[in-house]
Structure 1
C-alpha cells in the first residue's frame, strides 16, 4: 500500500448503527500483475461507490480484475459523509473535500505510477455509483485530460439528483447544532467548533438526518462552491459546465442497469417486525412526506406545493390509482430507476451529443444476478428484482452485496468487460467495444446511442 499523505484525516462512516473506518485513510493501494512478459502496464484508477457516505476501496475485491494480468490497478480512498462533504456554502467551509482527495490521488498516480511499472500516458479512471458520479465530476476539470486517457462511469453521473444537491448550508449548521455547537449562523465559528469534535461524533450525527432506514441515502454530498472558495472544485452546476464545453474532452462511457432503482427501493420490501407488513405499505399514508427524500427533490423545490405537485405527478404516472404494496412494487422500482439513474444518463448523453468533442458512449446492462443488492436490502429472496444496481460492476470487482460465485454466462460477460477496459485504455482513437459489438459515439449523433448488454449477447439499441 502506498500512502500519499502523511496527515491523518478521518474516513469514518456510519452503517447499521455502527461506526467503521480509518482515521489514516487518504491512501492509494497499488496492485501489479504477476506478469513477467512485460515491463510496464496500462493503469486503471478506481474510485469506489457508497453514496458519498459509506463504503471503501477495500470492500470491492480485486482478484477477478487482476486475474487478467494486463493492468495495474490503483484503488483510491477519500473522505466520506460530513467529513468529506459538509459545506456552509461559503469560502470558510466550501465542501467537496472528498472530491479534492480524489483529485489529489489522481494527480499523484499520474506523477508516480511509472515507479511501479505503470504507464502514465495510459490511465483509465473508473467508478461505480457515487464512484461513477465522481469520475464524471473529475472530468468537469479541463486539465483532467492531462491525467486520464479515458474514463468509465457505471450507474452514476454528475447530473443524477442525489449527486450535486442544494441545501448543504442548512445541513452543515444543523450538523453543528446536533454535535453541540449551538445555534450559530457564523460559518467560521461553526468550522472551529466542528474541528474540536471527534470524527465519531460528527459521523454519528448522520442518524439525525435520516427520515427512516437509510433515507435519504446521501444527506451529505457534492455541492457547487462559491467562486471565492480557495481551491474550489466546481463553482458552476455540472449542466452549465457541460454546456460551456469547458470540460475534459476524453473518451468516456457511462451506463445504467435496467432496474438500477432496486437501490434503494428494495428496502421498502423489508417486513417490519412490529406489524409483519412491508414498509412499502406505509407509503400509502406517507408518500408526500417521504417521496422528496427518497427521490432527492426536497431541496430543489421552492414551495411545499411544488413538492406535493411533483410527488402527485410521479405517483400518478407510475402507479395510477393503485396502492403501494408488494404487487405494485416493480412499478415503484421503475420510478426509482428512471428518476435516480436512467433519466439523467440519457440527459448527459444528449448534452454531450451537442457539446462534446471526444467520443462518448452509453450502455444498458440487463442480466439479473441470482442474488444482489435488491435481496440484500429487502432481506428476502422471494422477489425477482431484475437487473439491479451493481449487477454489472460486481462482475469486475467482487462485492458482498452480491454472491461471489458467477454463473457461466456471467463469467463470459466478466471476461468481456475486462477486455473492454484493457482495449479502451490502449485505443488510439477512443474506440470502445464489448465482445463483437462496437459502441456508437453520441457526439454529433442525430439521436442518443446506447448499447444493450444481456446474457445472450450485445447490440445497439
Structure 2
C-alpha cells in the first residue's frame, strides 16, 4: 500500500469513526475499544498468531483469522511469560505464552483530525517487562499523539538459540518487526498518521529500536527513532555462547543430553512453557546474576526470516541500515540499575558487594557482560583485573567505595556503547543523530528499589527520565511534571518535524553527523544546557 493509499484510509472510513469512535474496522473485522474519559483505548489486539506448539521458536505468523463477532479490545494487555526480577519470592514467573498483541491509545482532541504515532517497545533486558507496565496517562493528557504499546516474546521463549537455522533465535525481535508492520498498515484506521511514526524504547527497548534501525526495511516503517539508555553496541545487547545455553536448557527440562538442534527443538516444543521459563532460575549464579542468560544473537544467513546475520558494529560500518533521524541518551548514573542490587542485604546480613572481594573474577564477567566475548580464561581474568585497577585501584569493594563501582557499571554497560554508536553513525549516516544526558536524581527511583535502602546518593539512575514520560501525572511532583511536559513536547515535536529538528524546553539539539566534536543536551531539574565536548571518544 502506498503512502497515498494510507492517507486515504481515514477518509474512506471516517464516517464509521465519526458515528462511533470506539468501533474500528480492521481487515480481520471490527473491534470495540473503551472510553476512558480523557482518551480512547483499544487494547490486546493480536498482530500475530499465538506462538504455541509448533509455532514456538518460530518467526511470528501474521494474525489471519477473521473475527466473526466484534472483537473486545477493552482487556488490558498481558505480559509475555517471563521470569521477572521484580517479583518477590522464589517463584518469579508471570505472564502468558499467548501474548503477541498491540494496544492503541488515542487522545480526545477535537482540534486534530489525525495524530502522529509513538510506537513503544518496553525494556527489561529482553528477559522481563511488558506493555502494561508503561503508563500512558501523561502522554494522553498532552493530547497530540497516538501511543501504541508492543508486546513481544521474552527470555528463553523469545531468544533461545542453537546458532543454526533450526533454532535461530531472535524471535522477540521478529515479533517487534511484525508489530511495526502491523502499525504501519493499520494505524490510519485509528486516526493515526502512518507517515509520522516514531519508534521509541528504553533499556532493552532502546537497544531493540537500534537493532530495528539496522534493518533496511525500518525506514519504510518509521520516520524517527528514539533509544533511551541503550543501543545495539552495549555489551549486553547481542550475545555470544547461546548454543551452549540452549542445549543446557534441554538438559534442565528433561530432553536429555541432546546434540542435535532438530531433536532439541522438537522436545522443547512439547514442554509446557512454564518448565522452560522456570528453568531460568538454574542459570543464575547469585540473586538475578547473570541478568540476561537469553537475548539477541547473530543468526546464520540461512535462518528463516532472519533478523540479524552480522554484528551491529559491522552493519553500521557497511552503511546498509536505515538512515532515519535518531535520538540516543543515557542518564548520568545509568549503571546504578545494575550496581545498586549489590547493596541489598543478603540472607547472611551482608551486602553482595563484599563478595566481590573474593569472587570478582567469577562474577565480574557476568555482571558486566563479557564472559562469552573473551577467547580464553586468561584474557578474561586480565580484563577483570584491569577494570578493578582502573576504577578502584588497591581499594576493596565496599559500601564506602560503592560510587566508584557504580561509575564502572555506568561506563561499561551504557556510556561507552552510546559514544561508540554516535561515533560510528556520524561517519556512516547522513541522518541526524541527537544525544542527551539526564541528570536529576529522584527521591525514590529504581536504585532505591533494587538496593532496598535510602541512605545512598545513587544519583540519576537507569529509567529516571523514562518514568517521567510514562507515568501517571498525579504521581509526580511539580518539578517532575514540568520535566515530564518538556520530554513529551520534545517527542511530539520530533515526530512531527518536517526537518527532523529536536528541542527540549529552550535547548535546540545539534546534529552530530559530520562533527568532530560531540554535541549533547545536558538536562537537569530546572534547566537544560547545550554542551560541546572536544572529542566524541
CA distances 1:128-160 after superposition (whole Å, capped 9, x unpaired): 000000000000011211110001010010011
TM-score normalised according to structure 2 size: 0.84
**Aligned position for 2:504:** 434
**Aligned position for 2:227:** 153
**Aligned position for 1:128:** 202
Q: 1:326 is paired with a residue of what secondary structure?
A: coil
CA contact (8 A) 2:521 2:529 kept: yes
Q: 1:350 is paired with a residue of what secondary structure?
A: helix
- Cα offset for 1:456? 3.1
**Aligned position for 1:247:** 321
Q: 1:450 is paired with a residue of what secondary structure?
A: strand
CA contact (8 A) 1:353 1:448 kept: no
Any residues of structure 2 matched to 1:60-75 within 5 Å, and which? 60-75=134-149
| Alignment match of 2:172 (pick from 98, 105, 109) | 98
**Aligned position for 1:84:** 158
> Aligned partners of 1:164 and 1:191: how far apart in 2?
22
**Aligned position for 1:293:** 366
| Alignment match of 1:443 (pick from 499, 513, 518) | 513
CA distances 1:176-196 after superposition (whole Å, capped 9, x unpaired): 111111111101010001001
Quick check: 1:375 aligned with 2:444? no
| Alignment match of 2:483 (pick from 404, 408, 413) | 413
- Cα offset for 1:5? 2.5
Q: 1:287 is paired with a residue of what secondary structure?
A: helix
**Aligned position for 1:271:** 345
Quick check: 1:7 aligned with 2:76? no
CA distances 1:66-109 after superposition (whole Å, capped 9, x unpaired): 11011000000000000000000000000000000000000000
> Aligned partners of 1:71 and 1:387: how far apart in 2?
28
Q: 2:518 is paired with a residue of what secondary structure?
A: coil
> Aligned partners of 1:327 and 1:404: how far apart in 2?
36
Any residues of structure 2 matched to 1:119-268 within 5 Å, and which? 119-268=193-342
**Aligned position for 1:109:** 183
How many residue pairs are counted as aligned between the two chains?
457
- Cα offset for 1:240? 0.4
CA contact (8 A) 2:115 2:144 kept: yes
CA RMSD after TM alignment:
1.2
TM-score normalised according to structure 1 size: 0.97
Quick check: 1:351 aligned with 2:427? no
Q: Which runs of 5 or more residues in structure 1 are unaligned? A: none
Q: 1:67 is paired with a residue of what secondary structure?
A: helix
> Aligned partners of 2:260 and 2:49: how far apart in 1?
31
Q: 2:401 is paired with a residue of what secondary structure?
A: helix
> Aligned partners of 1:219 and 1:273: how far apart in 2?
24
> Aligned partners of 1:293 and 1:23: how far apart in 2?
28
**Aligned position for 2:464:** 391
- Looking at CA atoms only, which structure, 1 or 2, has the larger radius of gyration? 2
**Aligned position for 1:456:** 526
> Aligned partners of 2:477 and 2:194: how far apart in 1?
35
CA distances 1:266-291 after superposition (whole Å, capped 9, x unpaired): 011011232x2211111100001100
Q: 2:94 is paired with a residue of what secondary structure?
A: strand
**Aligned position for 1:313:** 386
Quick check: 1:30 aligned with 2:99? no
- Cα offset for 1:442? 0.9
- Cα offset for 1:8? 4.7
CA contact (8 A) 2:50 2:99 kept: no
**Aligned position for 2:12:** none
Q: 1:91 is paired with a residue of what secondary structure?
A: coil
**Stretches (4+) displaced over 3 A:** none
CA contact (8 A) 2:503 2:509 kept: yes
> Aligned partners of 1:33 and 1:429: how far apart in 2?
25
